[in-house]
């Protein structure tokens, strides 16, 4: 059997190697992002809710800032699967066999859940929030003049937290797989989890009850899906352990 013992120096060298590989990937994809960023901006401007408004710049730096931000966002999105794989390679030595398999197996699902969450946030929650806030401005007879930095800041504040929240089922499944969580603990935590999710929903949605519900209900649904998936994984773990085919967890 391969000796998996590593010294502190070996760990540092391995970490340095993985970080350099990820940074190299970021640089390469950033170059591609600089090429594709104008096309992404043209697309975003051509679809609702941006298609009906003019994008203004209030600083000489606004244009280049958004151009670089879009290129960086593209780079990070493309780099994410590669970075997760490099993370798995780094921690692989310290994991048990079942933990190694679980970590590698769940990486693709992490990407899929992020894409689903991003799509839901951008195509459902963001337009709803934008319509609500611009409706308030119109009702108060304000002249709507939006800066490109403010527009993207508003969008990212809504889209990114929801996209990350959609990772919850995969994270719960993985933690159940390696023995940190189980359905009983999740049931015990339910009331506190609901409170946290409702608070998060109120922070990232417009300040009215319908919008809160449209965000809070999917988040609570994600938690319940996570509890159910945890039960599925946990029962499978018990069957394997009873059959002697699984290493006991610490």
In sequence order, what DSSP letters do the residues of 32-101 get, joined into one string?
Answer: HHHHHHHHHHHHHHHSTTGGGS-EE-SSTTHHHHHHHHHHHHHHHHHHHHHHHHHHHHHHGGGS-HHHHH
- pLDDT greater than 60 at residue 5: no
- pLDDT greater than 80 at residue 177: no
Please write the tens of the pLDDT for every residue from 13-52: 888 888 999 999 999 999 999 999 999 888 888 888 877 7
Find the mean pLDDT for residues 95-106. 68
* Both structure tokens of 28: 């390469």
Helix (H) or strand (E) holding 172: helix 168-177
| Rounded distance between C-alpha atoms, residue 171 and residue 24, angstroms | 27
Residue entry with tokens 């069957």: 239
pTM: 0.73
CB 126 within 8 A of CB 158: yes
Model confidence at 6, in pLDDT bands (50, 70, 90)?
low
CA dihedral of residues 177, 183, 188, 192 (deg, nearest 10):
70
Please write the tens of the pLDDT for every residue from 189-225: 888 888 988 888 887 666 667 667 777 888 888 889 8
Q: Which pLDDT belongs to residue 250?
A: 46
Contacts of 83 (CB under 8 A, 6+ apart): 22, 25
Contacts of 44 (CB under 8 A, 6+ apart): 50
Please write the tens of the pLDDT for every residue from 113-162: 888 888 888 888 888 888 888 888 888 888 878 888 888 888 877 887 88
Chain centre distance of CA 16: 25
| Rounded distance between C-alpha atoms, residue 238 and residue 25, angstroms | 40
| Rounded distance between C-alpha atoms, residue 76 and residue 72, angstroms | 6
Q: Which pLDDT belongs to residue 136?
A: 82
């Amino acid at each position: 059997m391969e000796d998996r013992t590593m010294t502190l120096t070996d760990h540092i060298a391995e970490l340095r190697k993985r970080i350099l590989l990820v940074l190299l990937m970021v640089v390469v994809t950033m170059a591609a992002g600089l090429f594709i960023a104008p096309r992404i901006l043209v697309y975003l401007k051509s679809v609702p809710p941006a298609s009906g408004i003019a994008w203004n710049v209030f600083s000489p730096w606004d244009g280049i800032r958004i151009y670089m931000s879009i290129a960086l966002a593209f780079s990070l999105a493309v780099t994410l699967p590669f970075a997760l794989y490099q993370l798995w390679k780094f921690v692989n030595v310290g994991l048990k066999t079942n933990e190694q398999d679980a970590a590698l197996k769940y990486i693709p699902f992490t990407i899929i859940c992020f894409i689903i969450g991003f799509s839901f946030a951008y195509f459902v929650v963001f337009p709803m929030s934008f319509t609500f806030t611009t409706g308030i401005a119109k009702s108060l007879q304000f002249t709507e003049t939006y800066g490109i930095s403010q527009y993207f800041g508003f969008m990212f504040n809504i889209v990114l937290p929801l996209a990350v929240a959609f990772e919850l089922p995969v994270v719960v499944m993985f933690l159940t797989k390696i023995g940190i969580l189980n359905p009983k603990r999740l049931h015990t935590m339910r009331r506190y989890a609901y409170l946290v999710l409702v608070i998060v929903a109120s922070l990232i949605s417009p300040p009215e009850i319908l919008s809160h519900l449209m965000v809070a209900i999917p988040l609570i649904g994600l938690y319940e899906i996570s509890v159910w998936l945890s039960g599925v994984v946990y029962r499978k773990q018990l069957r394997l352990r009873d059959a002697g085919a699984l290493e006991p967890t610490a």
